[in-house]
């Protein structure tokens, strides 16, 4: 994002871009599928967990505060 304003420096941002590009997509890709299923997977398959989870968290917070 910081390289965006450096439009005239095409050769400069091009070099760091390809280096960060391949490393960025590879990191989030494996992290999303692994981290995703861990959180939404257990609550996604069931139609109640997603709602209960959100409501439970809110209710717990309210009960704890009260």
d(CA 48, CA 39): 14
Q: In the structure, what pLDDT confidence band is assigned to residue 31 with cuts at 50, 70 and 90?
A: low
pLDDT at 59 over 50: yes
Residues 6+ apart with CB under 8 A from 17: 3
- Domain locations in the chain? 11-65
The pLDDT of residue 5 is 54
CA neighbor of 16 nearest in space, from 27, 28, 26, 4: 4
Residues shown for the chain = 66
Residue 36, pLDDT > 50, answer no
């Amino acid at each position: 994002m910081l390289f965006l304003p450096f439009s005239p420096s095409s050769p400069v941002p091009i070099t760091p871009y390809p280096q960060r590009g391949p490393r960025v997509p590879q990191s989030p890709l494996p992290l999303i599928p692994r981290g995703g299923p861990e959180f939404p997977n257990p609550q996604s398959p069931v139609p109640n967990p997603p709602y209960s989870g959100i409501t439970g968290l809110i209710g717990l917070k309210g009960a704890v505060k009260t």
